């Protein structure tokens, strides 16, 4: 079976997915009879491209890596200038949503996923926003369309969590969860234990690309809090927001 | 504080937790001292993990260790997307 894929958001994670799909191309076909083409790409700052016959993935990766626009790759019959137009014109079977996280509203990811499901696409995201802000609605919409709303990569990297509960724990009642969900602060604490200052450890995280230039989301606990909210929302069947978690992580700054 | 904890055989972790009691959920994210008996104690650097407590299997734990840095995190996350895709269509 051939699947057309659309990439909405084409940053580090989406580019890593494109490379992974290329690396696994032969295994996908030999084990599952799956072949694929990428028919739509929407980037944050490097343009938009649609081609129902399949875009040049290597070309798109090379353009984005060198800071150039992917617009020249697009089929000229489809003058796309926004993400929703890419979703509509891609004719995709599967939409990968990787736009930046918005903890307050879940947008624009919510709109991307609604649009894709309405068009009978599977919608798969690494974005925690739509899980916290739209889990019940999007799961019901997916079910009504016979499609999947997938979000396995929102918590603990890509390690299977949600699918383990869905597939392997029938009727188990979850009473508590406890863990470490944020790598940046864990690296900082580990390096401080080995003698580095907070500033040195943070600088290291930024140098390897784990922490953002503005590390607020990590060190103030909001990244961890939205992951807690996603787990509670899905696995405890209780809608929950990061604000209700009320993270107390800022105190990391005062640990000496 | 961190050195003092280390001298006592403990370490600080940014602990995430949630509990459901009588249908009501409480959750927190805060730095906590953990000792070597905790599954969280051994999670260093980019290792993360979670313990689930259920009414049937008491504690079920998963840990993940990522390759550190830009060659790492995105690849692990990308695999979750890849797995969702394959699981959705097979």
Domain locations in chain B? Answer: 2-89
* Strand B47-54 relative to strand B59-65, pairing: antiparallel
* Residue A95 pLDDT: 98
Give the span between the Cα atoms of A112 and A136, in whole angstroms.
16
Confidence check on the interface: ipTM exceeds 0.90, yes or no:
yes
Question: What are the tens digits of pLDDT across the range B39-89?
Answer: 999 999 999 999 999 999 999 999 998 877 655 568 899 999 999 999 999
Question: What are the tens digits of pLDDT across the range B31-42?
Answer: 999 999 999 999
A24 is catalytic: no
* Residue A164 pLDDT: 93
Give the span between the Cα atoms of A238 and A230, in whole angstroms.
10
Yes or no: say if A78 and A39 are a contact pair by the CB < 8 Å rule. Answer: no
Give the span between the Cα atoms of A188 and A203, in whole angstroms.
9
Interface of A with B in 166-185 (CB under 8 A): 169, 172-183, 185
Give the span between the Cα atoms of A129 and B89, in whole angstroms.
24
pLDDT band at residue A199 using 50, 70 and 90 as cut-offs: very high
A207 or A212: which carries more pLDDT confidence? A207
Least Cα distance to B76 among A92, A245, A139, A183 occurs for: A183
Yes or no: say if B30 and A249 are a contact pair by the CB < 8 Å rule. Answer: yes
Question: What are the tens digits of pLDDT across the range A113-158?
Answer: 999 999 999 999 999 999 999 999 999 999 999 999 999 999 998 8
* Residue A212 pLDDT: 78
Interface of B with A in 17-76 (CB under 8 A): 17-21, 25, 27-31, 40, 43-57, 62, 64, 66, 68-70, 73-76
CA distances from B90 to A21, A62, A122, A148, B84 (A): 16, 31, 12, 12, 10
Contact: A183, B46; criterion CB under 8 Å? yes
Q: How far is CA A21 from the centre of its chain?
A: 16
- HSE (side-chain half, CA atoms, 13 Å) at A84: 9
Kindly report the nearest CA distance between residue B38 and chain A, in angstroms: 10
Is the per-residue pLDDT at A254 higher than 90? no
Evaluate the omega torsion of the peptide bond into residue A108 and state whether it is cis, within 30 degrees of 0: yes
Yes or no: say if A146 and B86 are a contact pair by the CB < 8 Å rule. Answer: no
Give the mean pLDDT of A61-87: 96
CB burial of A74-103 (b: ≥16 within 10 Å; e: otherwise) equals beeebebeebbbbbbbbebbbbbbbbebbb
Give the span between the Cα atoms of A152 and A160, in whole angstroms.
6
* Residue B72 pLDDT: 53
Yes or no: say if A86 and A7 are a contact pair by the CB < 8 Å rule. Answer: no
* Residue A249 pLDDT: 78
Give the mean pLDDT of A56-70: 97
CA distances from A40 to A6, A56, A99, A133, B78 (A): 5, 10, 14, 26, 18
* Residue B13 pLDDT: 95
Give the mean pLDDT of A236-244: 96
pLDDT band at residue A84 using 50, 70 and 90 as cut-offs: very high
Contact: B88, A147; criterion CB under 8 Å? yes
Provide the whole-model pTM.
0.94
Contact: B12, A177; criterion CB under 8 Å? no
* Residue A211 pLDDT: 85
Mean pLDDT rounded to a whole number for chain A: 94
Question: What are the tens digits of pLDDT across the range A34-58?
Answer: 999 999 999 999 999 999 999 999 9
* Residue A155 pLDDT: 94
On chain B, the residues whose CB falls within 8 A of the CB of A151 are 84
Rg (CA), chain A: 20
Is the per-residue pLDDT at A81 higher than 80? yes
pLDDT band at residue A214 using 50, 70 and 90 as cut-offs: confident
- Residue A6: Cβ within 10 Å count: 29
The residue length of chain B stands at: 90
Is the per-residue pLDDT at A191 higher than 80? yes
* Residue A173 pLDDT: 95
* Residue B73 pLDDT: 60
pLDDT band at residue A219 using 50, 70 and 90 as cut-offs: very high
Is the per-residue pLDDT at A248 higher than 70? yes
* Residue A256 pLDDT: 57
């Amino acid at each position: 079976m051939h699947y057309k894929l659309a990439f909405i958001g084409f940053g580090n994670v989406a580019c890593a997915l494109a490379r992974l799909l290329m690396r696994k191309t032969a295994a996908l076909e030999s084990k599952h009879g799956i072949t694929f083409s990428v028919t739509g790409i929407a980037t944050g700052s490097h343009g938009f491209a649609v081609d129902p016959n399949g875009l040049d993935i290597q070309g798109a990766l090379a353009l984005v890596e060198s800071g150039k626009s992917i617009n020249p790759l697009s089929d000229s019959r489809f003058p796309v200038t926004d993400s929703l137009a890419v979703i509509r014109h891609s004719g995709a079977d599967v939409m990968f949503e990787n736009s930046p996280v918005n903890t307050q509203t879940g947008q624009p990811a919510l709109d991307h996923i609604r649009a894709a499901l309405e068009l009978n696409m599977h919608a798969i995201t690494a974005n925690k926003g739509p899980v916290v802000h739209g889990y019940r609605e999007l799961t019901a919409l997916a079910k009504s369309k016979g499609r999947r709303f997938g979000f396995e990569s929102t918590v603990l990297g890509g390690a299977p969590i949600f699918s383990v509960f869905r597939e392997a724990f029938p009727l188990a009642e979850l009473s508590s969860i406890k863990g470490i969900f944020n790598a940046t602060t864990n690296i900082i604490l580990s390096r401080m234990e080995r003698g580095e200052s907070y500033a040195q450890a943070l600088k290291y995280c930024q140098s390897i690309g784990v922490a953002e230039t503005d590390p607020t989301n990590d060190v103030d606990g909001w990244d961890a809090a939205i992951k807690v909210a996603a787990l509670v929302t899905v696995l405890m069947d209780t809608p929950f927001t990061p604000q209700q978690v009320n993270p107390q992580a800022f105190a990391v700054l005062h640990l000496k | 504080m961190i050195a003092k904890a280390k001298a006592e055989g403990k370490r600080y972790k940014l602990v995430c937790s949630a509990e459901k009691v009588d249908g009501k959920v409480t959750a927190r994210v805060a730095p906590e001292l953990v000792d070597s008996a905790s599954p969280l104690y051994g999670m260093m650097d980019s290792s993360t993990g979670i313990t689930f407590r259920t009414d049937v299997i008491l504690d079920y734990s998963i840990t993940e260790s990522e390759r550190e840095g830009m060659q790492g995190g995105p690849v692990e996350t990308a695999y979750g997307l890849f797995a969702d895709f394959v699981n959705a269509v097979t």
